[in-house]
Amino acid sequence: MAQATLASRETAPAAFQTIRTPDAHPRPTKVKASGVKVFYGPKQALHGVSIDIPVKSVTAFIGPSGCGKSTFLRCLNRMNDTIDGCRVEGEILLDDRDIYDPSLDVVELRARVGMVFQKPNPFPKSIFDNVAYGPRIHGLARSKTDLEEIVVSSLQKASLFNEVKDRLHEPGTGLSGGQQQRLCIARTIAVSPDVILMDEPCSALDPIATAKVEELIDELRTNFTIVIVTHSMQQAARVSQRTAFFHLGNLVEEGPTDQVFTNPVEKRTQDYITGRYG
Amino acid sequence: MSDTALAGPVDWTSQQAAGRRRSRHAANRRLQFYGIAAISTAIGLLGLLITTLVIGGYPAFLQTKITLDFPIKAEYVDAANPAGGNYRAVVRDALLGIAPEATTPPQQRLLGQLLTNNTQFFVRDAVVANPSVIGGTLTLTVPASDPIDQLNKGLIDRDLPENQRRVNDVQLGFYDRLVAENRVSAPFNWALFFNADSRFPELAGLAGAITGSFYALLVCFLISFPVGIAAAIYLEEFAPRNRWTYLIEVNINNLAAVPSIVFGLLGLAVFIQVFGIPRSAPLAGGMVLALMTLPTMIIVTRASLKAIPPSIREGALGVGASKHQVIMHHVLPLALPGILTGTIIGLAQALGETAPLLLVGMNAFITSPPGGILEASTALPTQIFIWADSPERGFTSRTSAAILVLLAFLVVMNGIAIFLRQRLERRW
C-alpha cells in the first residue's frame, strides 16, 4: 500500500495534462507560455509548461523545493541566458511577441519584465542612484528634475519614501532587510515595467517587513502584472488571484486561488496544500 | 551488528584520560612553539639583513666637506669671461693658504688630493653665478676626496704603517691642520639623492637611477594596466568556457613563473634589435617590465572580478542593463580597489627587477639624469649592481645606502597598497 502511493508521487508521466480552471471573468493574457522545456546540460528541469498569465493581477507559483518554479520564472525575462549550459525550448509570448526571437533586444525585454530577487540586492550606491540607475540607462528622464520626479514617485509607490526621504544620498546597503527589498521593488518599478517577477521576495524578511511587502504587492497589482514564486501557501492565498502548482518540473494544476486552496482537483495538489509532503 | 550495547560514559578522571589530556596540551604547546620559532627565524633573518645594510650604509648618508677661502685674483680670472679662468691656479693658491710649506709639485699634488677632483669646476660655477667676487675672496664648501672622507668617518686605521694606508703621513698632517682650523664638516649627503652617477664616490648620486626607474615604471604601468585589465575582463566575463580559454589561462599563469632574465633576452632580441628602440632607454626597460607585470595584473584583476557577488550582476541585469553596462557601471568600480592594490604590488615587484634591465642595457654610465624615455639611463637596482662592482672604497657604503633607498621605496609602495586596501574595502 505505502509503496504504491509512493510510486505515484515520485514518477512524473511523460506527456502531462495540466488541470486548468479558468476564471469566472477571465482577464486578457499578458504572458503566454506554450510547451516550455528547460534543460541544464543533459538534465531536464521543466517538462513542457504551458500557462497564461493574466494582465494586472497577481499569479502565484507554489510547489515543493526543486520543482522548477524559479526556473520557469527566470525564463520569463530570459535570466536563464546568463547560466552556462542552460537551454530553453518552447514559446513564450509577451503581448503576442516571442521573447526568444533573435531580433528582440533582451535588454529591452528585461526593462519591460522586471525582477525582484529572494535576497535583497541593492547596488552599493546611494538610495537615489539605486532607483535612478534604470531610468538613466534607458533614457527615461529628459532632465534632472524629471529624474528626481521618477525616483520620488517610485519610492512612494514602493511605500518607502517617507522612511528615506531625508537620506536619499546615503548608501542603499545601510537600510534594514525589509527596506532594502522595498528599495529593490522601487528600483524595478522605476523603469515602468509591464510585468514584475518576484522570486520568493519575503523569504529573507521578518514577519512585519513581510506584511509591508505583501501590502505593497496588493497596491501594485492595479498597475502591473505580477508573478510571485512563494514557499508560503498562506502568502499565496493572501496575495494572489490565480495560483499555479508545480511538481517535479510539471505544472500540475492552475486556477483561481480560492478554488485551488479550498477545492483542488488533483490529488497531488491537495496533498501539498494540506502538508502531506513538500 | 554485535549484541553489545554502546560503551558507557567516558571516565574523565582515569589515568588514561589524564594522560590523553596531558599529551593534548603538550601537542598544543609544541605547535605554538613551532609557529613562534618560525616567525622568530623569519624576523631574525630580516633584522640581520637590515642591520647589515644599515651598518654598512650609514656612512654614505654623510659627506665630508672642506671649507676653504679661494682668492679669485684678477690675473687668473678675466671679468669679461669668468668661465674661462684658470681655476686650477685658484684652487692651488687656496690650498697654499692652508699649507704654505707645500712648494714642490709632489707636495702640491698630495695637497690637491685632499679635495674632490672637480673642485675647480665648483669654484668656476660659483664665480660665474656671482661675478662680483672677482678680485676678492670666495669662501666655498666643497666635498673632500674619497680617502679623506673615509678618514674623517674613521674608516681608515691611522695606526697602520704608511704603505698600507690610503692616506700617507703628509696628508694626515694637512688633514689635522684643517680639522684644527674647523674647516672640516660632515653634513647630510644630499648629493646621494640629487647628483647623477660619477667616477668619484664623493660626487656620485642616485638621481639618474631614480629618474630612470621612474620612467621605466611609468612605461610599464601605461602598458600593463589597460592591457591587463581588458584581458582579465574578457577572460572573466565574455570568454566561453572551452578548451582554448583553459589553455590561455594555464599559459598566463605559467608566464608569471618565467625567469625574469628570459624577458630580458626578449627585450634585447625583439625590442632593441627588431623594433629599433635605443639601447639602455627606459622605454625598452619599461616594455620588458610590462611583460613581466602583465600576468600578475591579469591574475589579480580576475580574482577581484570573481569576488563580486553574482547578486550585484543579477540586480543590474534585472533592471535591464546590458552586459557592457553591468561591467562598466557595477562590476569594475567595485573591483577597482582590489585591482589597484594588485597594480601597486606588481609595480613594486617591477621596481626591484634587475636581470632583465641588465640585458636591455639599463646599466649605462650616465652623468646626468635622462631627459625622456628614449635616452640612455640606469635604474635603481642596476645602479646598485654597478656600484657594487666599483673599486673605490667609497662605493662600498654607497651601495648599501642605495639598497636602503630602494627598500624604502618598496616599503612606501607596499604601505600605500595596504592603506588603500583598508580604506577602500567594501562590505556588500
Q: So what's the ipTM on this one? A: 0.85
Find chain B residues with C-beta within 8 A of A76's C-beta. none
For residue A119, give the chain B residue with the closest CA. B311
Find chain A residues with C-beta within 8 A of B313's C-beta. 82
Instruction: Name the phi and psi angles at B155, rounded to 5.
Output: -95, -5
What is the side-by-side order of every strand in the sheet holding A58-62?
A19-20, A250-256, A242-247, A58-62, A225-229, A195-199, A113-116
Separation of alpha carbons B323 and B95, rounded Å? 79
Find chain B residues with C-beta within 8 A of A133's C-beta. 316, 319, 321, 329
Residue-level pLDDT at A6: 47
Option in A82, A123, A138 nearest B315 (CB) = A123
Residue-level pLDDT at B90: 87
- The shortest C-alpha distance from A7 to chain B (Å) reads 32
Of the candidates A58, A54, A16, A14, which has an alpha carbon nearest to the alpha carbon of residue A226?
A: A58
Query: For residue B114, with 0-12 CB atoms within 10 Å meaning exposed, 13-18 middle and 19 or more buried, which class applies?
Result: buried
Find chain B residues with C-beta within 8 A of A173's C-beta. 427-428
Between A247 and B77, residue with greater pLDDT = A247
Instruction: Report the percentage of chain A scoring pLDDT > 70.
Output: 94
Of the candidates A190, A185, A110, which has an alpha carbon nearest to the alpha carbon of residue A148?
A: A190
Of the candidates B101, B115, B110, which has an alpha carbon nearest to the alpha carbon of residue B167?
A: B110
Q: Which of A121, A129, A136, A196 to mutate to test the interface with B (most CBs of B within 10 A)?
A: A121
Option in B311, B325, B427 nearest A137 (CB) = B325
pLDDT, tens only, B50-83: 999 999 998 899 999 999 888 888 888 888 888 8
Of the candidates A159, A138, A157, A136, which has an alpha carbon nearest to the alpha carbon of residue A148?
A: A136
Residue pair A182/A156 in contact (Cβ under 8 Å)? The answer is no
pLDDT, tens only, A57-71: 999 999 998 888 999
**Looking at the complex, does the CB of residue B315 fall below 8 Å from at least one CB of chain A?**
yes
Residue-level pLDDT at B209: 93
Instruction: Name the phi and psi angles at B143, rounded to 5.
Output: -65, 145
Interface contact B318-A117, CB threshold 8 A: yes
pLDDT, tens only, B200-248: 888 899 999 999 999 999 999 999 999 999 999 999 888 888 899 999 9
Whether pLDDT at A4 is above 70: no
Find chain A residues with C-beta within 8 A of B241's C-beta. 84
Interface contact B314-A188, CB threshold 8 A: no
Residue pair A180/A210 in contact (Cβ under 8 Å)? The answer is no
Interface contact A117-B314, CB threshold 8 A: yes
Interface contact B321-A123, CB threshold 8 A: no
Option in B317, B319, B322 nearest A188 (CB) = B319
Separation of alpha carbons A43 and A38, rounded Å? 9
Separation of alpha carbons B377 and B365, rounded Å? 8
Find chain A residues with C-beta within 8 A of B314's C-beta. 79, 82, 115, 117, 121
- Chain A contacts in chain B segment 206-245 (CB below 8 A): 241
Residue-level pLDDT at B351: 92
Of the candidates A78, A73, A45, A46, which has an alpha carbon nearest to the alpha carbon of residue A59?
A: A73
Whether pLDDT at A2 is above 50: no
Interface contact A121-B311, CB threshold 8 A: yes
Residue-level pLDDT at A84: 82
Report DSSP state, residue B144: B
For residue A131, give the chain B residue with the closest CA. B319
For residue B317, give the chain A residue with the closest CA. A110
Report DSSP state, residue B13: T
Backbone φ/ψ region at A200: left (φ over 0), alpha (ψ -120 to 50), beta: left
Separation of alpha carbons A227 and A246, rounded Å? 14
For residue B237, give the chain A residue with the closest CA. A82
Domains belonging to chain B, first-starting first, are: 62-188 (no CATH), 207-424 (1.10.3720.10)
Rg (CA), chain B: 32
Find chain B residues with C-beta within 8 A of A117's C-beta. 311, 314-315, 318
Q: List average pLDDT for each run of 10 residues in chain B, which is 428 residues long.
A: 69 88 96 97 96 92 90 83 85 86 85 88 89 86 90 85 83 88 89 89 91 94 95 90 91 90 92 91 94 93 92 92 92 90 90 92 87 90 91 86 93 89 70
Separation of alpha carbons B295 and B258, rounded Å? 10
pLDDT, tens only, A129-172: 999 999 999 999 899 999 999 999 999 989 899 999 999 999 99
Q: Which residue has the cell 524629471?
A: A146
**A-B contacts (CB, under 8 Å):** 65
Interface contact B320-A117, CB threshold 8 A: no
3-state helix, strand, coil in chain B (%, to 5): 65, 5, 30
Report DSSP state, residue B76: T
State how beta strands A29-40 and A43-54 pair.
antiparallel
Separation of alpha carbons B60 and B62, rounded Å? 5
Q: Which of B246, B319, B332, B426 to mutate to test the interface with A (most CBs of A within 10 A)?
A: B319
Of the candidates A158, A114, A106, A160, which has an alpha carbon nearest to the alpha carbon of residue A134?
A: A114
- The shortest C-alpha distance from B306 to chain A (Å) reads 15
**Looking at the complex, does the CB of residue B319 fall below 8 Å from at least one CB of chain A?**
yes
For residue A188, give the chain B residue with the closest CA. B319
Please give the full DSSP string across B207-239, using - where no structure is assigned: HHHHHHHHHHHHHHHHHHHHHHHHHHHIIIIIS
Chain A residues with CB within 8 Å of chain B CB: 77, 79, 82, 84, 107-112, 114-117, 119, 121-124, 133-134, 137-138, 173, 184, 187-188, 191
Separation of alpha carbons B76 and B53, rounded Å? 46
Residue-level pLDDT at A168: 92
Residue-level pLDDT at A239: 94
Whether pLDDT at A7 is above 50: no
Q: Which residue has the cell 515520485?
A: A10
Option in B320, B329, B426 nearest A111 (CB) = B320
- Rounded to a whole number of angstroms, the distance between the first and last alpha carbons of chain B is 52
